[in-house]
């Protein structure tokens, strides 16, 4: 299975209680939709997890995983990312993207000069930020993922046209 066929939709943050339930964080636009995409897999696609939401908790859900029966089994899953097959996910409007599709894209300025590559997509509460690795450097820049700063995303061409705010780029 190609890694491109899997999209990260959540992560297991640890065991919850003594009956094998786990706490998860959902990365879905509608958080409870993570249950609808079940069964989910780990990032390699090797392990499968069938989820049933028990109840919500702060920053996530408590879920029962059919394949997990004990707290000890649940403890071993802490940090596992949960992935859905791309064909299980809804189609997105033209101005929305799955984070997995943005990582690796080349970023160019409005004049066509390469600024770097998208290393990750981050969100610290206010809005999405593209972490862009600078060419020939280990340094990165956080580019606001707004229409003003990123007027064009061309997935087919594998590039993003950016108009970064003054002073953002070294």
pLDDT at 2: 47
Q: Is residue 93 part of a domain?
A: no
Strand-strand pairing, 159-162 and 106-109: parallel
**Are residues 63 and 113 part of one domain?**
no
**Are residues 77 and 9 part of one domain?**
yes
Q: Is residue 25 part of a domain?
A: yes
The CATH number of whichever domain residue 150 belongs to comes to 2.30.30.240
Q: Supply the range of the domain harboring residue 31.
A: 3-88
**Are residues 120 and 79 part of one domain?**
no
pLDDT digit string (tens) for 94-136?
778 888 889 999 999 999 999 999 999 887 777 789 999 999 8
Domain count, the chain: 2
pLDDT digit string (tens) for 44-61?
889 999 999 999 998 899
The sheet that has 114-123: what strands, in order across it? 140-144, 128-133, 114-123, 106-109, 159-162, 152-154
158 contact partners, CB below 8 Å, separation of at least 6: 104, 105, 106
The pTM of the full predicted model, rounded to 2 decimals, is: 0.71
d(Cα 22, Cα 128) in Å, to the nearest integer? 27
Q: Is residue 168 part of a domain?
A: no
């Amino acid at each position: 299975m190609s890694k491109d066929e899997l999209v990260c939709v959540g992560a297991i943050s640890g065991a919850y209680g003594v009956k094998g339930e786990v706490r998860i964080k959902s990365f879905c636009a509608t958080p409870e939709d993570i249950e609808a995409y079940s069964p989910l897999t780990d990032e390699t696609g090797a392990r499968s997890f069938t989820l049933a939401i028990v109840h919500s908790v702060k920053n996530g859900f408590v879920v029962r995983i059919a394949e997990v029966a004990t707290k000890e089994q649940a403890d071993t899953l802490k940090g596992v990312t949960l992935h859905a097959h791309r064909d299980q996910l809804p189609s997105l409007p033209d101005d929305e993207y799955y984070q997995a599709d943005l990582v690796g894209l080349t970023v160019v300025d409005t004049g066509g000069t390469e600024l770097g590559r998208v290393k990750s997509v981050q969100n610290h509460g206010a809005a999405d930020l593209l972490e862009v690795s600078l060419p020939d450097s280990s340094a990165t820049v956080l580019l606001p993922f707004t229409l003003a700063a990123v007027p064009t995303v061309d997935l087919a061409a594998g590039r993003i046209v950016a108009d970064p705010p003054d002073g953002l780029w070294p």
